[in-house]
Amino acid sequence: FRLKVSRRCRVAPRSPPMAARAASAGLRHGTGAEALQFVCRLRCASHVRAALFGGGVAAPALRGVALCGSARRFSGRSSSGYGRREPALAVAAWTSVEDLVAQGASRPGVAPTGTGGDTMCMNDEGAGGSSSSTSSPSTSSTSSTSSAGTGGSSKLVGAGSKTLFALPLYRKPAFPGFHQIVQVSDQDVIAFLVALRQRDQAKFLGGFMTKELPTDVANHDVGEIVVEDGGQVGAQSLRRDAGRVQSVMELEEIGTLLQVVDLMQYPNISGGQIVVMPQQRIRRTRAVSSPSPDVVLAAVGVEYVEEPSIDPADKRVKEIHQEISARMEELVQASVVHKDQYEKVSRYFDAKDPLKLADLVAGMSLADREELQAVLVEARAKKRLEKVLDIVRKDLDLARRQSRAKTQTEEKVSKEQRQAMLTAQMHAIMRELGIDKDEKQVLVAKFRDAVGNKVLPPEASKVLEAELAKLGMLEPASSEFSVCRTYLEWLTAVPWGQYTEENRDIKHAEKVLDEDHYGLEDVKERILEFIAVSFLKDSVQGKIMCLAGPPGVGKTSIGKSIARALDRKFFRFSVGGMHDVAELRGHRRTYVGAMPGKMIQCLKMTESSNPVILIDEIDKLGRDFRGDPSSAFLEILDPEQNSNFRDHYLDVPVDLSRALFVCTANVTDTIPGPLLDRMEVIRIAGYVFEEKLAIAKDYLIPQTGEQSGVDPANLELTDEALRKMIADYAREAGVRQLRKLLEKVNRKVALKMVRQKEEQETQEKTVVGLDNLAQFIGQPPHLSHRLYSGCAPPGVVMGLAWTQLGGASLFIEAIGHGRPGSCEAAGGIEFVTNDAGGKKKEPHDWPVEDRGRKGTDGHGGGGSMKVTGQLGEVMSESSQVSLTYAQLFMRELKVGNRYLEETLIHLHVPEGSVPKDGPSAGITMASALLSLALKAPIVQDLAMTGELTLSGNVLRVGGIKEKVIAARREGAKTLVLPRLNESDFLELKDYLRVGITAHFVDHYDDVYRLAFDPSAVPPLPFAPRGLPMVTIKASAEAPDDLADEAKASSAGSDVAACAVWRCSAAVGSEAAALRARRIGA
C-alpha cells in the first residue's frame, strides 16, 4: 500500500480529491517525505487543508516545519491559478492547526517542540499546536484553548484569558465606543487578514500601539484613499496607521479589543483599509507566537481590563465632566473636522457617562500619541478625566488658531477674487465700448511708442517688425511669448540715435578738472588736448585713454571728472577677474535667462549713445575655458570695428563709436599687446609730499569731516601733525591711506562728541597735534626714512626701483667670506673660514661648485656669489652680469686687487618678503661689489638706477618719475640715471626737481667717478668711455644768464630752474653749446 501511494505521489494526479487522498495516505502510513513534497505542489489552499486533515495522525513535527517553509514558494498561487499574491499555504497550515486545536488539542500526545521559530506539531489524535521561542512552556499545559481571532464564545486558557492576533497601531490608540478606519499600507498584513477573513476567522483583533513611532512612517505618509464611483481607488499611497513589528515587545501592554467590521484590499495599490469597532480595553499577558515572514502578525494572550467605577457623589468628577462637555461644544463649533466626527457618533453615545465621553473626546483628538496612550492606560477615573480635559483644551486652542488663520486667508482670497472679478468685468465693459484693447495689442503699441522718436538702423528696424508680428501670433500663456517680450523690451530700450549734448567750453572742462584734482598737470593737459580735438572734429576719433598708475592716485575719479567736464552720462564697470566673454557680448537667446552684455546694459542705463564708459582694472582680466575677454575688447575698443558692434543677445549692429572709453590699470605689463596697442596710456606716477599736503588740506580734510559729521569748529589738525602723518604714516604713492587715517581721526572725535553730548558737557574743540597724534592713529609704521640714515658702510648702495604702488628705494648689501689662503692685495688681509667646530676648512671642504674654479685670467681660485632677497629671474641674471663686470673693472684699475675673484660674495636685497625683479639695479649691484672690494663707502645721499651690460654701457630704464619721487622722499640729493632717460627727467615739473642734482651717464666709468670719493679709491687709468656725462642741477633760483635766456625763449619755463654743464674737461664749449641748443636753451 505504501508503494502504491508513493507511485500516486510521483505521478501527481490531476484530480484534486485524488491528490488529497494520496497525500493523506502518505502522511498516515509513513511516506512523509514524498507526500510533503507533493502537498507543497498543490495549488489550492482547500486541497492542502484536506491533505492535512486526512493525514493528520502520527505526523512528526518535521512535517509542520516543511509545510511552513514551503509557504514562500507557494505564496504566488491561489485557488484560481497564478493570480493575486496570497500566502495560501501558510494560511492553510496555520488554520489547520487552529482547527485541530479547537477539535481537541488537549488529548494525550500533544506536546510543544520548543525548537524555536514558528513550528507546527501534530499527534496521532489529529491535534495541532503553535509554539515559538517567545512562548511560555506553560501555554501547552492548559486544558483548552480558543482559536486565535475567531471571536465568539470560546473556552479560555486560564481565567479571563483569550488568544488574539495583535495588530500594531502607529499613530494613536483605539478608544472604545465608535467605528474607526485603519489604513494599512503593508501588503503582507492586509493579505494575511483577507485570507483569515475568507475562512470566517479574524473577527476580533487586539489593537496595541507601538511604543515608538517607526522612523519611516512619517516619510511615507502622503495622500489619502479616495474611493471613486464604481469602487475605483483614486489615491497614490496610503496613510500608514498600522503595519507590522519585529517583536511583541515593541507593543504597549494596554490595548483595545477590535471587532473587524469591514476589510477592503485595494487592487491597484499596495495595502487596504480595515473598519473596526473598538470594544473594550485589554491587557497583553503573554506572547503565543512572534511575527514571521509567513505569519506577519503575532498571536498574544490577552485579558479584559475592567472599567473603573465612579462615585456619583464626587463633585470634582462632575465639574470635570461639565468642563469637558463645554469645551467639546466649543471645539465642535470651531473645527469643521471635529464637528463632522461628533455629529456621526454623538447619536450612538451616552454623553452623560463621564468615562464614555472621555473616550469619545480622546478618540477624536489630534494630540500626541503618548498623551492618548496615557489616557488609555489610566485606571483611575478622576485622573483619566483630568488628562482628557487637558487634551481638549489644547485641541480647542489649536482649532481657534487654525480658524483665525483660515479666516484671514479666506478674506484675502475673497478680496483678491473680488478684485479680479471686477477687473475682468471692467475690461469686458471697456472692450464692448471700444475703449480697451487686447493685451497683445497694448504691448505692441507700447513697443512702437518706445521707438517712436528713435532712429533705428535698417537691420534693427527689420528685426523689430518681425518680432512684433511674432508676438501678435503667440499666446500669452506660452513660454515663447515671454522670451519674445523680453527681447523686445531690450531692443526698444537701446537709445538708437539719441545722444547727450556735449559741453563745448574748454575753460569749463579745465575748471572741472582743477576742482576735482590737485596737481596732475600733465594728465589734465593731455585730457584737455583730447577734448579739444574731439570738439574740432565733432568725434572722439576712436581714441581710448588708459590711465595707468598705482592705487589711490585718482584714476577712477578722473574718469568721472571727464564725464562731468563734457556733460556726458557716466557708466563704470570693473573687469577685474572677468572670465566669461558673455558678460561683454551677452548670451545667446537659446539659453534660459539670457541677457545682453555690459555694453548694451550701459546704453540702456545711461539712455545715451555717447556716454563716458570707464572700464576699471583692465590689467586684471581673466582667461579660461569660457573664453578670453581681452579678445572681445579688441572689437569693443577698436574704432574701426565698434561702429557695428553686435551683441549675441540682440544680434543687431549697435554703434559704439560715439562713446568715450577710459580704462584704468595699475600696470600695463599684464595687458595683452594687441589690446594695449589700441590704447593711449597716460601714466599717473603718484604724489610727492607737497602735493599730499595740499590735497589733504583742500580735499581730504573737508570731505572726511563732512562724511563723519564733524564740523571744522570741533576739530583742528595742526600742520605739524598733518606733515608727520604724511611722512611717517602714509608714504604710498596715492592718498588712499592718508584718507583712511583722517577718517580714523574723525571717528574718534565723533565718539568723543557723542559722549560729551550724553553727559551734557560743553562741546570742546579737539586739537590733534604731535603730542597726541599717536592716540588717534597709533604708532607710525615708518620710524626712519632710510635704512642707513648716515653714511652707508662699504658694500651698501641705495638704488631706486619702480613698483605697482609707486617708486621705492632699494638698498643693495654685499659682504664677502675669504677663502683659505686668499689675501686681499690692497690691504694684505687673509680671510680664514672655519667650520662649525672651529676647525679651519681646507680647500676640499668648500662646496663643489666653488672648488677648483678658475679666474677669468686663467689663475686659480675664481670667486662666486650667493644672491638672496626673493629676486626674480631677470634680476638674478643682472646680478651675475654685475659680478662679471666688477671683476673685469677691478683688473682695468690695475691695482692688483683679486678680492672679487677669490672670495665668496653674499649679495642681499633687504625686505626679503617682497618679490623683486627687473634689470634696473645693474649699476647699483656693480657699485656695491666694487665698494666691498675697495673698502670704500659710496658718497652720501646718492641714489642710482640703470641697466648694466657686460661692456659697461648703462641702458635706459622706466619709471623715472616714480623713482625721482622716491628719491625725494628718502632725502637723496644726487641721482645717477641713464643718459637715455634725460628727456624723461626734463619732463618733470619744477617742484619735483628742486634740490636734486641728476647725472646722466652712458658708461659705468662715469658711475665710478660719481659714486666714490676720488681720494678713497684709485683713479681711472684711462679716459671715461661712452658719451659725455650730462649733469642737471635744479635749484630754487637759476643763474642770471640762464634766467635771462629763459625769459627770451619760448621754452624758458622748462630751463629756468636748470643749469647744464659738462663734467668732462675733454669736452669743449662747442659741445656744450650744441647741447644747450638741443634742449632749447
Residues annotated as part of the active site: 920, 963
All 3 cell numbers of residue 592?
534660459
Q: Residue 309, SS3?
A: coil
> How far is the C-alpha of 47 from the C-alpha of 672, rounded, in Å?
92
State how beta strands 298-304 and 161-169 pair: antiparallel
Cβ-based neighbour number of residue 755 at 10 Å: 10
> How far is the C-alpha of 6 from the C-alpha of 515, rounded, in Å?
120
Alpha helices in 855-946 (DSSP H): 873-893, 899-902, 922-934
Q: How many helices (H) and strands (E) does the chain have?
A: 39, 28
Closest CA to 349 of 337, 364, 336, 334: 364
Residue pair 992/687 in contact by the 8 Å Cβ criterion? no
208 DSSP β-pair partners: 168
Amino acid at residue number 699: Y
What backbone torsions phi and psi does residue 293 show, to the nearest 5 degrees?
-60, -25
Q: Residue 810, SS3?
A: strand
**Torsion over CA of 865, 869, 872 and 878, rounded to 10 degrees?**
-40
> How far is the C-alpha of 1058 from the C-alpha of 992, rounded, in Å?
12
Any residues with CB less than 8 A from the CB of 822 and at least 6 apart, and which? 830, 831, 861, 898, 902, 903
What backbone torsions phi and psi does residue 976 show, to the nearest 5 degrees?
-115, 115
Q: Residue 111, SS3?
A: coil
Q: Residue 282, SS3?
A: strand
Owner of C-alpha cell 628742486? 994
What backbone torsions phi and psi does residue 921 show, to the nearest 5 degrees?
-95, 20
How far CA 123 is from CA of 98, 482, 897, in Å, comes to 14, 82, 125
Describe the chain by its helix, strand, coil percentages, rounded to 5. Answer: 45, 15, 40
Buried b (16+ CB within 10 A) or exposed e, 787-812: eeeeebebbbbbbbbbbebbbbbbbb
Residue pair 915/872 in contact by the 8 Å Cβ criterion? yes
How far CA 642 is from CA of 454, 542, 660, 676, in Å, comes to 20, 9, 12, 16
Residues found in the chain: 1081
Any residues with CB less than 8 A from the CB of 962 and at least 6 apart, and which? 685, 686, 733, 802, 806, 807
All 3 cell numbers of residue 967?
628719491
Owner of C-alpha cell 668648500? 846
> How far is the C-alpha of 969 from the C-alpha of 782, rounded, in Å?
12
Owner of C-alpha cell 515671454? 482
798 DSSP β-pair partners: 811, 943
Q: Residue 803, SS3?
A: strand
> How far is the C-alpha of 1037 from the C-alpha of 994, rounded, in Å?
9
All 3 cell numbers of residue 855?
679666474
**Torsion over CA of 11, 13, 14 and 18, rounded to 10 degrees?**
-170
Closest CA to 547 of 666, 444, 445: 666
Q: Residue 259, SS3?
A: strand
